[in-house]
Chains A and B, each alone.
Chain A
Amino acid sequence: MTTTAGLLIRRVPAAWRRVVRIGALGALGQVFISLSGMPVRLDVREIVVPILSLGYLVVLAAPLVVGVLLGRRPEHSGFLANPPSNRDLVIGATTGGLMAGGGLSILALLLAGFDLRDPLINWSPQLLEFLSFGRGTGAGFIVWLVIGAGLGMVGGTLRLATSRTQKVIMTMALTVVAAAILESLVVDLVEGVKLEALVEWMYAPRGGVTLLGAAVLAIVSGVLSFVGQGRIKTVQARVQAMEGPKRTRVNLTLIAGVGVVMILLPLLVGKLTNELLANVGLFVLLALGLNVVVGLAGILDLGYVAFFAVGSYSTAVLTAATSPRIAPELPWFVALILVIFIAILVGLFIGAPVIRMRGDYLAIVTLGFGEIIRLLFLSDWLSGWFGGSQGITAIDGVDVFGLLTVDGTNPRRVFYLVLFFCAIAIYISWRLERSRLGRAWMAVREDEPVAEAMGINTVNVKLMAFVVGAVLGSFGGAIFVAKVGSVFPTSFLILVSIIILVVVIFGGMGNIFGVIAGAVVLIGVLGGPKQPGLLVEFSEFKLLIYGALLVWMMLARPEGLIPSARRSRELHQEEFLQDAWLRGEIDTDESNDPQTAGPTQTTDSDGGP
């Protein structure tokens, strides 16, 4: 009895320790976000007028997340603990939220009492104003406690609802936020089809969804989500169950549908949106190229920007009249053929030494090559050829058979050009994935020594991946030059490599659709290295958010947004194993077979013919 009592006593604090830990993390996160200056800067962007701005959304998220986390069943060293009672759960979540909100309360007090603006540049009266809602420090102090506790409770309680209700609520919230974030896109699109009246009630004149709009959106999306749940899955399952020509027909219809939408879309939207679409497309192209290298062949290339740079500079030199040393002024499409050859050569040249290395060493060396290429273009030594830091400017756009010119002044045409090359890249990736070479890449990625033992020339195969990646990257470069009309070494910083890699990882390595989705979400919403996304206000905090997203992704969904089934299995292998082990299905000798069930084994031993 005493031991039971002892355990009980120990267990209560464990649960509370968890509450305090998560609550404190929430509070720290809150303070960090506030002092990064994000909320104040984002306050100008309205989400729901007049009650919620993006700035407040960012800080309010923390107590809510704390509540949701505390609502989860606790886990102790890999095992799920007994779920707390509903009352305990709500109390815990509320306390956690209270702590998270309390972080801001204390910050408000400190802001009022001290001046730490010297090291912390965002320690400003504006932040105090933001945190106290302009009603004095005391009000701010109390309000954050109340809001924190309230949101914590809401977050915690959400977990008590059925999963269906949870999904409906999530859909409603996400729809409203998405509608606000996508505002410029939606408005642009609606203007394109001449239906302005339809959304005038939805968006406030100075941006943000109106209360009425939010309510309508929430109700509509809620109803749709309630009714639609399960149906999408059924349809998916039905399509997946189809075989042969029927499946092909469905796929072809889908592809044709997407194609038609992509062709019509630019006609309906304005210049800015087309510019955005073109940027997203450019990164889709680059990410597809890197996906061949990283996703299919498993070579972690951190210097992919090198190929982008080579494609850009060689296009510039070959097409521009202003090229410093040689200026053949070739038409863009003719130049492109030469650019492909140059990319292949550079791919082989960089690949040959790099490919013999493995893992970390390879990654570091590719990182080095990425920088070397940029520094070569920047160097005085080659400035006679590439203009050094002055770059090459005044480059003409793409002349399409003398009919029209594609350049930066007409983003719609640029988008069509990008779309064309994206289609090529998608087709190449798709075909390669199913080819003999694609299989060899996957074999090398899976188990290089065994691939070698099977007679696959791993060096050649990996070089091929590098070359294909280089060619696709150089396409990106050629389009980039036509679009911006100039090249400078500063366009090819390491950051570009990293962002392309993040797009690939975020979307789902080795999956064409994942990569596209990754580019649309990251580049479209947050923006690329220099290109603004839909959330222009975020651009200052882009890297912070990229980093946070990547960390979160690695923890929660390492297989990416849209994973390939293959990838997902690998990354969750441990969990499969653990689950199977818990079910008593694995004996220790078989620990490398995730799904070996006890009974199957016995049938196996006499199952041979």
Chain B
Amino acid sequence: MNESHPLLEMRSVNAHYGAVHALKDVDLAIYPGELVCLLGGNASGKSTTLKTLLGMLIPTSGEVLLDGEVVTERPISYRVKKGVTMVPENRRLFKRLSVKDNLELGAYLRKDTDHINADMERVFELFPRVKERLSQKAGTLSGGEQQMVAIGRALMAGPRVLLMDEPSMGLAPALVQQNFELIQQIHEAGMTVFMVEQNANMALSIADRGWVLQTGRVVLDDTAEKLLAHPDLRTSYLGGKES
């Protein structure tokens, strides 16, 4: 684990949807270069955590810190500019726009053309197939290619930390496998990744550390190996999928 100060941090965050207490005193810290995952069953508060980190939701109490700076009340655009980017659940590409448009929209807030072009080249290096499909409409790509574009689009924002919302959601097994390989690949290229997942085995197989969230509370916080070895991780904490 990196001992420097965290890149993205949540300090005793509480969030509400009306009367529903969605997050209860959640503490998270993501350090530079890490690949970490947040596990949890349905309605455990995973998405709420993600929304709070990105700024789609302002918590009722607690703080969100980006590189030591309090950004709790800052808008999404500010955080995106400062290096927090999300890859939405189910890819959610702009299907009727070209791949190029999709990538350029990823860099929407940036104005430094040279750096944008450099980042575009970097995406092509990572995913050469994307370059071949540049003028095609994103919706016509295969599932695997769409994933590359989704990640590429996020990378175009020049992020320091990538938030991945349920990368395995609604995908065929072969594509889930591939998606996790892509995540590992960008992680190995130096990206800090925070992912939210239901598929515990898959996520923990590539993650360094993980948290388990249950009804809005962090109930486990450990390294990936220990979490994997935890006897009743699934039955007691992840909505009893196996029961």
Contact = CB atoms under 8 A, between A and B. Distances in A.
A452 B85 CA distance: 11
A440 B107 CA distance: 11
Given A439-B101, A440-B108, A609-B127, A452 B76 contact: yes
Contact of B105 (A440, A457, A608): A440
Contact of A436 (B108, B173, B178): B108
A605 B94 contact: no
B128 interface: yes
Interface string B45-87: 0000000001010000000000000000001110111000110
B157 interface: yes
Contact of A596 (B97, B127, B128, B143): B143
Contact of B146 (A436, A452, A453, A593): A593
Interface in A559-609: 565-567, 569-570, 573, 587, 589-590, 592-597, 600-602, 604-605, 607-609
B97 A604 contact: no
A452 B56 contact: yes
Contacts of A601: 142-144, 172, 174-175
Given A453-B56, A455-B157, A608 B182 contact: yes
B106 interface: yes
Interface string A431-453: 00000100110110011011111
A456 interface: yes
Nearest to A450: B92
B97 A569 contact: no
Interface residues of A, number: 39
B140 interface: yes
B56 A446 contact: no
Given A452-B76, A454-B108, A455-B157, A566 B88 contact: no
Given A452-B56, A454-B157, A447 B94 contact: yes
A595 B90 CA distance: 16
B177 interface: yes
Given A590-B172, A609-B127, A442 B86 contact: no
B94 to A, nearest CB: 4
Interface SS, A side: helix
A196 B157 CA distance: 66
Contact of B140 (A439, A455, A567, A595): A595
Interface in A440-486: 440, 442-443, 446-447, 449-457
B127 A608 contact: yes
Interface in B163-200: 170-175, 177-178, 181-182, 185
A450 B54 CA distance: 12
A442 B93 CA distance: 12
22 contacts: A439-B104, A439-B108, A442-B101, A443-B94, A452-B76, A455-B157, A456-B108, A567-B96, A569-B95, A569-B139, A570-B96, A589-B172, A590-B143, A590-B175, A593-B142, A595-B142, A600-B142, A601-B144, A602-B174, A604-B178, A605-B178, A609-B126
Given A569-B139, A587-B172, A601-B174, 13 more contacts: A436-B108, A439-B101, A453-B88, A455-B109, A456-B105, A566-B137, A567-B96, A569-B96, A573-B139, A593-B141, A595-B142, A604-B144, A609-B126
Interface of B: 54, 56, 75-77, 79-81, 85-86, 88, 90, 92, 94-97, 101, 104-106, 108-109, 125-129, 137, 139-146, 148, 153, 157, 170-175, 177-178, 181-182, 185
